[in-house]
Structure formats: structure tokens, C-alpha cells
Structure 1
Amino acid sequence: MPKNLATRPQARPRLTTNLRAAALLGPALVAGVAYLDPGNVASNMTAGARYGYLLVWVVIAGNVMAWLIQYLSAKLGLVTGRSLPEVLGQRIRNRWARRAFWLQAELVAMATDIAEVLGGAVALNLLFDIPLIYGGVITGAVSITLLAVQSRRGPRHFEFVIIGLMAVIVIGFVAGLFVAPPDPAAIAGGMLPRFTDSGSVLLAASILGATIMPHAIYAHSALARDRFPTGPGHAPDPARPSLRILLTATRWDVTIAMVIAGSVNLAILLLAAANLAGVSGTDSLEGAHAAITANLGGLIGTLFAVGLLASGLASTSVGAYAGAEIMHGLLTVRVPLLARRLVTLIPALFILGVGFDPTLALVLSQVVLSFGIPFALIPLVALTSQRRTLGEHVNRRLTTILGIVFAILLITLNAVLLWLVLTGA
């Protein structure tokens, strides 16, 4: 018997296994869209235009932290069968403490909504010259359509739509690097951790707030719970993969999502550092788009705007999903996703209506997000390190130590930022 024929029967089971494993991917890719929202674009673009390659290390460090944090969030949802807001809603017994925690989480979610709607509005203005206020309305309307897919067709169809938009985002923001590649030596120099002034600290906090987003931590645990209903209270399903297989697939899912998100965020900063440094007006998304178009051509400029639009549409849908889960988990109030989307559009449309600088609003929203990180991260690390919560899947000691170190670093950076702002240093 020919050798190739003898090996064919073995190839089919392996192919089937790989297809089954691939079918388990998805929740992290949806949560990962939160790492590619317009706030990321504004923060990384501004950092590259103002400081060149100085903050490359912040993007890389933030992505490494994000991998661990998103995996812990998904693990909590898989093992317990509940989202992080649900677990906190049960553990925080004092009604007023629970409401206070919900309020800060809700403000963070609203800051996220503002960034995403603003980004979509700016993109529509760049592509079709649509006034910003109408662009915000259109962005909100499209996001409502995407949320309807999630509500009526289920999480899998929602994942396909969001992953498709992620592919558009990648193409839109990475294409420029092939036309004007950055300096490798400068990139290496940017990996040395350092700051130059309070402005660089502000942007570092903004980058981290856009990279490690509190609402993504809340959302990922809910996405994993909805996609793979396991844990106490769920009936056994012989067709469902074992929890260990799901956790292994989740590690791959998070790795793929974070590699994509980290690469795109780094590409945005490098694109600005290589082509926009010293160019006037590039602190705004409109100015950056004009400079990219002038320096790299109309096609790259259009791709950038299309990527920004896809970023706003995808991330605002995930943000609304996270906000609804926060309210349900902490207040046990179930607000329809579509109704919540309409309400959270108001602050963004107000900002657009009064003529506030959209790019500045985007950067400031990411700073607000960075201050919300400890409130999501500390409980996440604490819960996943408790055997009574996760049983045999409790964190290893090294994992818990890394989580604590990351939390301390993020809180310290925010404290330094606050001190610099208050003292005017």
C-alpha cells in the first residue's frame, strides 16, 4: 500500500480535532475588539505623533498584562458559570457598597461608549463628509443592528460579525506600515521604559486605559459564560467539551486575540512615529488622517478611515453588551441591550453637538478608563485565587503574584498621573 494512502485515515481524525478546537474560539476575539476601539487609535496616534517611539514599551507591556487579565476573566466565567459582575453582586452584601461599585463601573462603561461613538462619527465625517452629530446617530443606529444580531441570533453569529469587522480594522491600520515602514533601531530604543514629562505619563495612562479596558474584563467573563454554559446550575451536556479542554482553547483564544490587538495598536503608534512626528495638526484624528493621506497616498488614508469606522461600530456594540451585564450583575436589573444603547448614546451626541474636540474627548475617556482598572482587576485576581470560587482551577501562586504586580503597577501609574496633573508638573 502506498505510504500516502496509509496515512490518510490518520489525517481525518486530526483534521476533525483541529476543526473542533477552532470552533471553540471566539469570545476572546470579541472581547479583544475593545482593545481596538477609537480610543486606542487616538491614544496611540497621539503618542506616536508627539513622542515618536518613546512609548513603544507601554503598548507592549500593556498587551502582556492584558493577556493574563483576559484569561482570568474568561476562566472565572467558565468555571463559575457567572460573569464577574454577577459574582461581585453576590459577594458585596451591603446594598450601598454594591450600588457605589456599580456607579463607578457604569461611568467607565459610559466613557467607553463616548469614545466609540465619537470615533465612528469622525470616520464617517472623513469618508463621506457627514456632520459629526449625524455621524454619531448613524454609528449608534448601526450598533443597535449589531446588538439585535446578538439578541436574536445568539453569541456565535455575533462573534462572526465582530470578527469580520476586526479583519477590516487590521487591514485599515496596518496597511500604512507596508508603504512607509518604521525604523527598526528606533523601535528597539522605544522598548526601554522611561518618561520625559507629565505629558508622556498622561499618554501612557491613556494607552493603558485603552489597552486594559475595565469593561472588557467584565464583558469577557460574560461572553465565555454565554458561549459555554458550564459551572453550577447548568445541566450536564455530553456534547459539551470538558472544562479543561475549554480552558485550553480559551488560552489559545486569548493569545490570538491579544497578538492581533497588540500588533495593531503597535502599528498605529509606529505609523504615527514614522510619518507624523513633527507634523502640525496630527494630534487630532482629522489631522492625522490628512497627514497620512498627504504622505502615504489617498488609498492608505481611506483604509485608515475605514478601519476607524469598523473600530467604532464593533467596539460600541461590545461596550453596550458589557454595560448591560454590569447593571444586571450588580443591580440584578435586566435592561434590554437596545434600550441601553439608546440611553448611552446621549453623552456622546451631546459632546458632538456642543463642538467639543472629539480627539481630546477620546484621549480623556481613556484616562477615565485607566482609573477604573483597579476596581475590575483587584476583585478579578482575588476571586480567581480563591479555591472556594474556582476549586481545582484556582490560580497558581505565580499567576496570582503576577496579577498583584500588574495591579500595583497600574495603580501606581495612575497615582503619579494624578499628582502630576494636580501639581502642574
Structure 2
Amino acid sequence: MSSENISWKYKNSNPSLQEVHKSIPIKTTGSFFRRLLGFLGPGYLVAVGYMDPGNWATSIAGGSAFGYPLLSVILISNLMAILLQALSAKLGIVTGRDLAQACRDHFSKPVSFVLWTLCELAIAACDLAEIIGSAIALNLLFDIPLLYGVCITAFDILVVLLLQNLGFRYIESFVIGLIATIAACFGIELFLSQPDMKEIVTGFIPSHEIIANPDMLYIALGILGATVMPHNLYLHSSIVQTRKYEETSEGKRDAVKFATIDSTVALMLALFVNAAILILSSAAFHTTGHHDVAEIQDAYHLLDPLLGTGVAGILFGIALLASGQNSTLTGTIAGQIVMEGFLNIRLKPWVRRLITRLIAIIPAVVVTLIYGEKGTGELLILSQVILSLQLSFAVIPLVMFTSDKRKMGEFVNKAWLKWLAWIVTAIIVVLNVYLLWSTFF
């Protein structure tokens, strides 16, 4: 059964990211790896959201306070992310709609408007985390005051626009290069910190200790609740359509398979980075009695004396700067997708970027002026709470659409996948409600 023109209110005449839609040709013959190569890229743009500065503080705090046991939580979070991103890619490839367009096509205008508003808040919150992360990195590496660092980040719009004009492959290459920089920095940091390999292996096995300790459980819920980034689900469902795959059942089936491999491999790299942050924090801080390191700045200043080398803090700062710049680039693209998809209006990329940046920069500047370094740390936490609040409103429609045979046709989720997806969704909803309640009450 074809999924075209079934159960959708509107004909999909405006493809997502029209300027790069179907712009990358795909080889239909040749070896498995040669065909896979054409699909590699979107997964890495998605993976960026799972290693953004907003996740760093939670991993640093968890590692310094409790050591290695929370590695199992990072692993479980990553497996949940792999499942949801695979569903997101499938929705985009099969229906030719990104998640925002699918929501506009399915829900009433008032519901779509609410979903769009919540999504814009989440993207602004994510952008806020990236601004603060980049500003902190500039402050740590070059002693640039936080306020100036926040303002400097506004100019990365020029990099985004340049790459968009050159072509989508250039954006993917730039992102992969920054991810490689982050991974290399943490690889060296792990070597310098000499973590306990036995403790690492044990840490990936879920432990009752996490549930028994209320403080550890709270941080575990924070890791689980804030790992899956809501804007990534909108992003992935759109950027997989940059590939010019065949619009046949077989062509779409291949595209779904290769896109899933792409995102799974990329998210395993994100798992390495997130695990590395927690392992580094455990080895450098927890084992040396520094159990209360929660701020990114504190981690930077403590790494050099604890590891006995002047390069440790520099590598940490470089990785943080790369993480912030990477995340802000993908956040820009996600913002464009969400606005075009929900409202069916198109703005020039620089206009859209400027709007998103101003929404995030204004609170960052105000808080930095009034409260200084301490305020930016609290703003980072608030950004993660906002992201958690939005997540359910992205995951539920995604699972609902991909489990609907009228919309997906022969590509509808199999029974076991549907149940697994709804179980993961229920876990995410419950954890985020609990996390929000704990944060405010």
C-alpha cells in the first residue's frame, strides 16, 4: 500500500528545506558500503544535539558526585534516542513530510499553533545553552569576559550562511569535523585521567544503587529526561530528504535502512562523548574527593592540577567551544524547519537565524549583566528544564504517525516496534513530569 495522499489534509507541495531538497544524488548500484556512503551525514547533525553544552553539566555533576554507576543511564538514554531518531528518519523518507509538516497536516490549527510555540521555546532554550556554552569556552580559553563572549556568538550566523550557500554536504563535513575534534579531545583526556577500566565496564550495567539513592536518582532522571532533544526529531525527519532516493517502495526501504545505520553509528559516537565526560569527571574528581564539582568552569580549572598537565583544561575548553558551535549550527536549521513546517511560511535563512539568536541572546545578556558567572550556570539548567517540558509534545506525535497504517502504508511500525516505541514514550513522559516537579517543588 502506498503512503502517498493517504490520511493527510494537505498535498505536500512545499518540501522541507526546499533549497537543498533532493540535492544529494544517491547511487543505486555498487557495494553496500558505497551506497551507504551517500546517506552518511544527517545522523551526525542529529548526534550534535546529544553532546551539546547543556548535557555537560549533568554528566560532570553525576560523575563527580557518584562515580561510574550513571554510565548505565547514559547507555539507556542513548538506546532510546537511537529508536526515536530511526522513527523520525522513517517518517521523513516514507511520507515526504518532516515532523512539523506532519503535525500541521494532522492536527487542528489551534493545536498546531500550540505545538509550534512550544517547539520555538525549546529551540530558543537550546540556542541559549549553546550561547552560554560557547561564551564560557571563550572565557576559559582566551579570558574573554562572559558578556563579550555572548555577543561574539551572534556572529556565527555568518558561518552558517556561508555553509548553506556552498551546499548541504559542506554543512555535514563541518559538523563531522567538529565532532571529530570533540571526540579527539576527550580521547586524550581519558588517556591522561587513567580511569579504572573495571569500574567503567561495571558502570554500564544498571544498578539498584541508582534507585536506592535519591540524589543519584535525581541526576539519573536529569540525564534520561534531557538526553533526547525535541528539535532533533524535527531536524532528522527533514534532512534525510536532502538525499535523492528513488520514490518507490524499494527505494524508500533502502533509504530507511541506510538512514537508520547512519544515525545509529553517529549516536554511538555521541554515546562515547557523553560517557567520556562522565568517566573523566569520575576519574579526575570523584576518586580524588572532589564530589561537588557541578559547574563547567570548576571542571576546567580543576583538570590541570588534578591530571598534572597544562593541556587538560585547554582540551576541555576546545571541546566545549566545538560543541557549542556545532549545536548552534544544527539549531539554526531546526528552527527553519519548524517555522516552515508548522506555519507554511518561508523566511530567508539569515532572518530566521537572527530571530532565533535574538530570542536567546537577550536573556543571556541580561542574566550575565545582573548575576555574572553564577547566573549563566543557572540559566543553563533552566534551558534543560524547558527542553524537557517540550520533549513529550514531539515524541508522542512521532510515534503516533509512524504507528498509523493510513499514513505509513507498508512502512508502518511492526507490532513489537509500536509497543516498544510507546513504552519508551511513556518512560520519557513520566521522567520529564517528575523532573519538572522536582525542579520547581
Q: What is the TM-score normalised by the length of structure 2?
A: 0.85
Displacement after TM superposition at 1:137 (Å): 2.2
Q: Pick the aligned partner of 2:264 from 255, 270, 275.
A: 255
Output the CA distance in 1 between the equivalents of 2:409 and 2:76. Answer: 30
Q: Is the 8 A contact 1:30 1:162 kept in 2?
A: yes
Per the TM alignment, residue 28 of structure 1 is displaced from its structure 2 partner at its CA by 0.8
Deviation string for 1:297-330 (max 9, x for gaps)?
2212111110100000010111121122112111
* Aligned 1:339-354 pairs, distance under 5 A: 339-345=351-357, 346=361, 347-354=363-370
The question of whether the paired residues in 1 share the 8 Å contact of 2:104 and 2:341 is answered with yes
Q: Which residue of 2 aligns with 1:291?
A: 302
Q: Secondary structure of the residue that 1:25 maps to in structure 2?
A: coil
* Distance apart, 1:184 and its partner CA: 3.4
RMSD in angstroms over aligned alpha carbons?
A: 2.4
Per-residue deviation, residues 322-356 of structure 1 (Å, max 9, x unmatched): 12211211122223332232233323333333325
Say if 1:73 and 1:217, in contact at 8 Å, map to a contact too. yes
Matched, 1:183 2:196: yes
Aligned pair 1:173/2:186, yes or no?
A: yes
Unaligned runs of 5+ in 1: 1-12
Partner of 2:42: 27
- SS of the aligned residue for 1:282 comes to coil
Pairing partner for 2:329 from 317, 321, 324: 317
Contact 2:65 2:292 in 1 (8 A): no
**Partner Cα separation in structure 2 for residue 156 and residue 295 of structure 1:** 41
User: Which shows bigger deviation, 364-373 or 127-136?
Assistant: 364-373
- Give me the identity figure in percent: 38
Question: 1:3 corresponds to which residue?
Answer: none
Who is 1:368 aligned against? Answer: 386
Call closer, same or farther: CA 1:308–1:316 in 2, change over 3 Å.
same
Cα–Cα, structure 1 residues 200 and 369, in superposed 2: closer, same or farther, change >3 Å? farther
Other-structure match for 2:237: 221
Q: 1:200 and 1:404 mapped to 2: Cα distance?
A: 26
2:89 aligned to 61, 71, 74, which one?
Answer: 74
Shift of 1:14: 10
Letter in 1 for 2:132: L
Task: Name the CA shift for 1:203/1:137 in 2 (closer, same or farther; >3 Å).
Answer: same
Alignment of 1:149 with 2:162, yes or no, is: yes
- 2-side partners of 1:14 and 1:87: how far apart? 32
- In the alignment, does 2:106 pair up with 1:111? no
Unpaired runs of 5+ residues, structure 2, are 1-27
- Alignment of 1:137 with 2:151, yes or no, is yes
Q: Measure, in 2, the Cα distance between the counterparts of 1:308 and 1:288.
A: 12
CA distance in 1 between partners of 2:171 and 2:241 (Å): 15
Pair 1:399 & 2:417 matched: yes
Query: Are positions 1:57 and 2:72 aligned together?
Result: yes
Provide the rounded CA distance (Å) in 1 between the counterparts of 2:139 and 2:70: 29
Query: Are the equivalent residues in 1 in contact too, given 2:193–2:284 (CA < 8 A)?
Result: yes
Task: Give the equivalent residue in structure 1 for 2:339.
Answer: 327
> In the TM superposition, what is the alpha-carbon distance from 1:228 to its structure 2 partner?
4.0
Contact 1:43 1:210 in 2 (8 A): no
Name the SS for the 1:395 alignment partner. coil
The answer for the alignment partner of 2:18 in structure 1 is none
| 3-state secondary structure, aligned to 1:242 | helix
Larger displacement relative to structure 2 (283-292 or 202-211): 202-211
- SS in structure 1 opposite 2:211? coil
Q: Does 1:160 align with 2:176?
A: no
Number of residue equivalences? 402
- The separation in 1 between residues aligned to 2:320 and 2:422, in whole angstroms, is 34
Instruction: Name the structure 2 match of 1:9.
Output: none
Alignment of 1:206-245 (within 5 A): 206-228=222-244, 242-245=251-254
- Residues 328 and 334, structure 1, Cα contact 8 Å, conserved in 2: yes
Match of 1:97 among 73, 86, 111: 111
Residue deviations 1:365-410 (CA, integer Å, cap 9, x gap): 2232122211111110110011121211111111111111111111
What SS does the aligned partner of 2:144 have? coil
